[in-house]
A = this chain, B = another copy of it.
Amino acid sequence: MRFFSDNAAPAHPKVMEAIAAANRIDTAYDGDEWSSRLDGAFSELFGAEVRAFWVTTGTAANCLALAALCPPYRSILCHRDAHIEVDEAGAPGFFTGGAKLMLVDGPGAKVAPDAVSAAIDRIRKDVHQVQARALSITNATEYGLAYSAAEVAALGETARRHALRFHMDGARFANAIASTGASPADVTWRTGVEALSFGFVKNGGLNAEALILFDMGLAEEVLVRRKRAGHLLSKGRMLAAQILALLDGDLWLANARAANAAARTLAEAAGDRLVYPVEANEVFLKASADEAARLRSQGFDFYDWGAGEIRLVTSWDSDGEAVGQLAAAIAKL
């Protein structure tokens, strides 16, 4: 029973149907009927005019955004545990042409305004030190915490004060929205976010992610950078169709709610073992090596997360019965 990654889940049947329907002759690259509907679909979702680009990975979405927001000779503030710092093989350095990531700390991989200001204050304002130009946060965070609209607003205000551009890595944006109930607008453009990596692959997509630009002025540069990075697929309609299928009838939200609900079931069973509050679809538990082995012997598949901790990830398709069995097994530990 799989609890090791939402990346390992299958695509949703509606997504597969959409791909099949798009599998016919149409214009190559992004001139097709589906791609041309993306801007409108996301503009409606966010209640504002936005530009939307399909890409195939969260790394591409994040790094295209960062390259447009930060020149090579500036730095990007992010959490020490941020995916862009830890798990993208240095892609931000590649896409930006050598910009630095400047790291801040905070529990649960969450960035607080004070930590941002303190990091800025530590930089001597001269030509010898790299000055910061952008802030990137992950929502939900790498430890499954969701930002409230008020928290994003405080960060947005801090970013403006320090003249920082503002990016959100939303690989699990759907789970964050499903968890907080915030409106997509309230945790993005209304509170200062200028570019959002909106994840679909972990939430029912096959291989499509969206990069949403709230600052339309970045669009032309992002278009060119996407091509230049080899991310302009010739049958782009197959990506656009996936995203449209997940937006249709808010399937993305339903999927995220299902994953979150499964995670909450596990969280309730875990009680004091929880390392962080469970606000999305990831559950981090204290568990000894022996306890982890006991769970695995019952057929549950998951990752260790440092010494004495394990990570359980639920998905849009998490099987209720398996979740129940795992919850029971945890409770029994």
Q: Which residues of A contact B (CB under 8 A)?
A: 2, 5, 7-11, 16, 19-20, 23-29, 55-61, 63-64, 71-73, 75, 86-91, 93-100, 127-131, 201-202, 206-207, 221, 223-235, 238-239
Give Cα A176 to B310, complex, Å.
48
Query: Would A7 and B206 count as touching, CB distance under 8 A?
Result: no
A221 CB contacts on chain B under 8 angstroms: 71, 73
Q: With contacts A63-B230, A93-B93 known, what are 6 further pairs, Cβ within 8 A?
A: A8-B27, A58-B234, A90-B99, A90-B100, A91-B227, A229-B230
Query: Would A59 and B230 count as touching, CB distance under 8 A?
Result: yes
Known: A7-B29, A98-B94, A229-B229. A201 touches B128 (CB 8 A): no
Query: Would A25 and B2 count as touching, CB distance under 8 A?
Result: yes
Query: Would B206 and A235 count as touching, CB distance under 8 A?
Result: yes
Contact of A59 among B129, B130, B225, B232 (CB under 8 A): B232
Give Cα A91 to B95, complex, Å.
11
Known: A128-B88, A225-B73. A10 touches B27 (CB 8 A): no
Enumerate the 5 nearest inter-chain pairs by beta-carbon distance, A residue then B residue, closest first.
Answer: A60-B230, A93-B98, A7-B28, A7-B234, A97-B97
Query: Would A16 and B23 count as touching, CB distance under 8 A?
Result: yes
Closest to A1 in B: B25
Contact of A130 among B8, B89, B130 (CB under 8 A): B89
Query: Would A73 and B99 count as touching, CB distance under 8 A?
Result: no
Give Cα A226 to B56, complex, Å.
13
Report A214 CB to chain B, min CB distance, Å.
Answer: 21
Query: Would B57 and A230 count as touching, CB distance under 8 A?
Result: yes
Report A175 CB to chain B, min CB distance, Å.
Answer: 16
A232 CB contacts on chain B under 8 angstroms: 57, 59, 127
Contact of A229 among B24, B91, B129, B202 (CB under 8 A): B91
Give Cα A226 to B230, complex, Å.
11
Query: Would A227 and B128 count as touching, CB distance under 8 A?
Result: yes
Closest to A61 in B: B230
Closest to A226 in B: B127
Query: Would B238 and A207 count as touching, CB distance under 8 A?
Result: yes
A61 CB contacts on chain B under 8 angstroms: 230
Give Cα A26 to B86, complex, Å.
23
Give Cα A224 to B60, complex, Å.
15
Known: A71-B221, A206-B235. A91 touches B230 (CB 8 A): yes
Give Cα A231 to B16, complex, Å.
22
Closest to A130 in B: B90
A223 CB contacts on chain B under 8 angstroms: 127
Query: Would B224 and A73 count as touching, CB distance under 8 A?
Result: yes
Report A178 CB to chain B, min CB distance, Å.
Answer: 20
Query: Would B23 and A10 count as touching, CB distance under 8 A?
Result: yes
